[in-house]
Amino acid sequence: MIKEKDIIELDLILKDANSKEMLDTTFPEIAKENNLNIKSEYKSLTFIVGTGELLKNVEKNIIDLEINKSKTFILKKTEAFGERDDKKITILPLLDFKKEKINPMPGMYVNVGEKSAKVISVSGGRVKVDFNPIFAGRDLEYTITINKIFSKDEEKIPSIIEKAFSFIPKEQLEYVYDEKLKQIDVQLPLGIPKELDYFKQLFAKMVLDSTALDLVKFSQNFTRKDNNK
Rounded-to-integer distance, Cα 186 and Cα 163, Å: 14
Answer yes or no: CATH 2.40.30.10 is held by domain 86-130: no
Q: Return the ∠ at Cα 180 (arms to 178 and 183), rounded to 5°.
A: 40
Structural contact between residues 197 and 164, judged by C-beta atoms closer than 8 angstroms: no
Structural contact between residues 155 and 176, judged by C-beta atoms closer than 8 angstroms: no
Answer yes or no: CATH 3.30.70.2210 is held by domain 152-229: yes
Q: What is the CATH number of domain 1-82+136-151?
A: 3.10.50.40
Half-sphere exposure of 177 (CA within 13 A, CB side): 16
pTM exceeds cut of 0.75:
yes
- Sequence letter at residue 39: K
Quick: pLDDT tens for 168-220.
888 888 999 999 999 999 988 877 776 788 889 999 999 999 999 999 999 87
The DSSP-derived string for 3-20 is -TT-EEEEEEEEEETTT-
Element (H, E) at 164: helix 153-164
Domain boundaries, the chain: 1-82+136-151, 86-130, 152-229
Quick: pLDDT tens for 121-171.
999 999 999 999 999 999 999 999 999 999 999 999 999 999 999 888 888
> Quick check: do 86-130 and 152-229 share a fold?
no
